[in-house]
A = this chain, B = another copy of it.
Amino acid sequence: MTVRSEPAQHAGMRASNLALVLGEIARTGSVSRARVAAHTGLTKSSVSALVTDLISAGLVAESGPASTERGRPATALALAPAGAAGLGLEINVDYLAAVVTDLAGAPRYHHVVRRDNRDRGVDEVVADLIDVARTAAGSAAAQGLPLAGACVAVPGLAVDGTVVRAPNLEWPRVDLADSVGDAIGLEVVLENEANLAALGEMWFGGHQDDSAPLRDFVHVSGEIGIGGGIVIDGEVFRGAHAGAGELGHVVVAPGGPRCACGGHGCLERMAGQQEILARAQVATMADLTHACEAGDQAALDAVADAGRHLGVALASVLTLLDPAAIVLGGAFATLAPWLSAATSASIGHHTGATEPPPLLVSGLGSDAAVRGAAGTVVRRVIADPAAYLAQRPAGRVGPS
């Protein structure tokens, strides 16, 4: 019928507090029960009981005594690395990738298969992805990491486990979640590559300051197309039909040339890889980088021009969304040395802001999306441990 939040019951209260405690342990890395109590507002007794459950569920482990100034030393609590793990997969235009991440977010397996997937059949690519996934799952099992699920990054729009649109792969509708899920025996979730890259950057990009983690920003991922991921309060913003964040099709040249999307003057049409390469008169991104390093003027002009157009799009993003930062990822991260000055100048020219938010450069590059995919799985476990434990009857909660 309509939006209707769940009733608050005892089980929900416990689930919520379980998540609160686990989240605090995850956030700090290592804390005592007493500090968790102080930080969360729960009493020591409640925290003790909750921690007991988390330990017996295998999600948390005591990691030895921790020295304190005075008084009895605390016992440090940390996420149990072998408590739960996430499998991240990625289908992209020119590669397949897999990552296994443990509960703490550390990558424990990473594999990339480079191959152009544009001219191959869907079934062929899916079979390859399943192969990659099986190998990754095998590695996880060998390391004693129980996979809590999988998440696949796709270069297109995914709704309810189905790839609805993948322009650069020219795929029809594909029920990817079901086919992959059946093959590897895990629950599989699909998500747009640009959104996952943004999350990966937030969790693993190293931009977060301990006092003020980056939770409101826009991530620009320049792969073959130009994607955008909007993160609001730590969560991806998807819009009413899961189509939000399409930075590549923001208008930067009203009345400009027609774009493949059907619009006119889109950013992707003016500053996409095809356009930059053509203007710089080189064949590949590697060539472009070399040309820029060599000081080739045509290459530098092409990149700076793309930077200017990007700045126009970002100026609109800043006025509309007021993010705390912008992160340049993918190809834009590689080109940042020759691009960001033009982009910053263009942003400054098109907004009146005296102090625009920082323009950061991704440290993960093309790995951001797979890392984000794997992180999504373990973050979900941390955000709702009760749901995870209920789902797998192997893990038993409660005493005796």
- Residues of chain A touching chain B, judged by Cβ–Cβ distance below 8 Å, are 1-10, 12-14, 16-17, 20, 24, 27, 39-42, 46, 211-213, 215-216, 228, 230, 232-234, 237-247, 249-254, 259-265, 312-313, 315-317, 319-324, 349-354, 357
Contacts and interface: CB of A to CB of B under 8 A. Distances in A.
Contacts of A40: 4, 7
Given A250-B316, A254-B252, A239 B5 contact: no
Number of copies: 2
A238 B324 CA distance: 12
Given A7-B20, A243-B322, A251-B316, 5 more contacts: A5-B16, A7-B40, A232-B232, A240-B357, A244-B321
Given A216-B240, A246-B320, A265 B3 contact: no
Contacts of A241: 322, 324
B7 A17 contact: yes
A7 B41 contact: yes
13 contacts: A4-B40, A5-B20, A6-B41, A7-B42, A8-B8, A241-B324, A247-B319, A249-B319, A251-B252, A251-B315, A252-B254, A264-B350, A316-B316
Contacts of A41: 6-7
Contact of A3 (B12, B42, B234, B245): B234
Contacts of A213: 2
- Would you call the interface of chain A mostly helix, strand, loop, or mixed? loop
Contact of A238 (B238, B239, B322): B322
B249 A351 contact: yes
Contacts of A239: 216, 321-323
A8 B13 contact: yes
Contacts of A27: 2
A264 B349 contact: yes
A203 to B, nearest CB: 14
A41 B1 CA distance: 14
Given A41-B7, A211-B1, A320 B247 contact: yes
A243 B240 CA distance: 22
Contacts of A245: 320, 322
A42 B12 CA distance: 13
